[in-house]
């Protein structure tokens, strides 16, 4: 085992231009702006309208920007991990398409399926690849075209999700970087958040399409309760393991599923709201992309040595947290 750490040396993003506002959703389903804002914190979300573009397009754009930000050439990348639940295809992997399009000719790549925890899981794997001493530079991407699996006639889910991608370059360092991580899984046999058809359990048929089984389904109240507990639990767990008090934490980067879940997590961490990255109002829940999109939006405010906690909860059920000390120089 080497004594190396991984640090984030570049951040990139992609957001589609089309803005789907709460006002437009009011014309599509029986809902209203006030309900959506007070129950979720969301005002608008982005939608990838172009029928010829899918998750790999957004992931590729985010990856290119992250490489440029890091000053790293695509050929230097050893591995590409794409966290997504909306891959272009079941196979080939979205990561393989990205690898080709950015010209990462020396990299291998694969997709990570861990829903809203996908980015923290993928970042953990990327960090461990570098800590092992076998890899020097890894591209970690969170990208989801949620509009491809959202039923825009179901008011309980269509208000929540948006499309987007975020990417980071991980590089080897001897100093600050990713210090610790905690990940959990608890197989959700009750399917409180899932896509019923399209897999080997319910392959696509005229009936599955007719019954809208290719759209995501969620028991909102169950997921809300578990997410509120899980995200706060894991954030406190990683603080305790690393002897961090709320004063020591510069930033919480929470998965953006619901403003109330984020606020409950911050409260349990005893963290002031100005230390919490929140952009759910603009983008909604972009699943694997929420955390890197926050890092992108805040990157110019992050300072060398800042203690940062990333925390996520999602379908699976999956949840996890990462503690890193910011160092980009």
Based on the shown chain and the rule CB under 6 A, indicate whether residue 285 belongs to the binding site for ligand COA. Answer: yes
97 to 116, contacts with ligand COA by CB under 6 A? 116
Annotation says 258 is catalytic: no
Rounded CA-CA distance 172/156 in Å is 43
Based on the shown chain and the rule CB under 6 A, indicate whether residue 86 belongs to the binding site for ligand COA. Answer: no
DSSP string computed for 226-259: HHHHHHHHHHHHHHHHTT--TTT--EEEE--S-H
Annotation says 32 is catalytic: no
Based on the shown chain and the rule CB under 6 A, indicate whether residue 313 belongs to the binding site for ligand COA. Answer: yes
Based on the shown chain and the rule CB under 6 A, indicate whether residue 246 belongs to the binding site for ligand COA. Answer: no
Nearest distance from C-beta of residue 161 to ligand COA, angstroms: 8
Reference 177, options 311, 318, 3; nearest CA is: 3
Rounded CA-CA distance 214/148 in Å is 9
Nearest distance from C-beta of residue 147 to ligand COA, angstroms: 15
Annotation says 116 is catalytic: yes
DSSP string computed for 74-89: GGG--EEEEE-SS-SS
12 to 31, contacts with ligand COA by CB under 6 A? 31
Q: Which residue, chain included where needed, has tokens 């110019």?
A: 300
Nearest distance from C-beta of residue 24 to ligand COA, angstroms: 13
Candidate list 22, 258, 285, 307, residue with the active-site label: 285
Judged by DSSP in three states, 118 sits in helix
Based on the shown chain and the rule CB under 6 A, indicate whether residue 80 belongs to the binding site for ligand COA. Answer: no
Q: How far is CA 259 from CA 41, 116, 135, 137, 214, in A?
A: 5, 15, 37, 34, 27
Binder of ligand COA out of 95, 140, 257, 269 (CB under 6 A): 257
> Which residues here bind ligand COA, judged by CB under 6 A?
31, 35, 39-40, 116, 155-156, 159, 193, 218, 220-221, 223-224, 227, 257-258, 285, 313-314
């Amino acid at each position: 085992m080497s004594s190396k750490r991984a640090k984030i040396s570049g951040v990139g993003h992609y957001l589609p231009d089309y803005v789907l506002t709460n006002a437009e959703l009011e014309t599509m389903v029986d809902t209203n702006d006030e309900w959506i804002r007070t129950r979720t914190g969301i005002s608008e979300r982005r939608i990838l309208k172009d029928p010829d573009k899918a998750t790999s397009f957004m992931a590729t754009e985010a990856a290119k920007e992250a490489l440029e930000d890091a000053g790293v050439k695509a050929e230097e990348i050893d591995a590409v991990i794409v966290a997504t639940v909306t891959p272009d295809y079941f196979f080939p992997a979205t990561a393989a398409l990205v690898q080709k399009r950015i010209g990462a000719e020396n990299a291998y790549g694969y997709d990570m399926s861990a829903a809203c925890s996908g980015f923290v899981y993928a970042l953990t794997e990327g960090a461990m690849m570098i800590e092992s001493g076998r890899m020097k530079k890894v591209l970690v991407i969170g990208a989801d075209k949620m509009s491809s699996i959202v039923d825009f006639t179901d008011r309980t889910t269509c208000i929540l999700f948006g499309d987007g991608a975020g990417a980071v370059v991980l590089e080897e360092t001897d100093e600050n970087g990713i210090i610790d991580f905690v990940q959990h899984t608890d197989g959700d046999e009750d399917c409180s958040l899932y896509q019923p058809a399209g897999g080997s359990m319910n392959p696509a048929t005229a009936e599955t399409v007719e019954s809208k089984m290719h759209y995501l389904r969620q028991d909102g109240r169950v997921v809300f309760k578990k997410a509120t507990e899980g995200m706060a639990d894991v954030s406190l767990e990683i603080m305790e393991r690393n002897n961090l008090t709320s004063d020591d934490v510069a930033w919480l980067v929470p998965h953006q599923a619901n403003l109330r879940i984020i606020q409950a997590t911050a409260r349990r961490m005893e963290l002031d709201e100005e230390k919490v990255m929140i952009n759910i109002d603009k983008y909604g829940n972009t699943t694997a992309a929420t955390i890197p999109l926050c890092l992108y939006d805040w990157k110019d405010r992050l300072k060398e040595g800042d203690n940062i906690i990333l925390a996520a909860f999602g379908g699976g059920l999956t949840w996890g947290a990462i503690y890193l000390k910011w160092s980009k120089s």
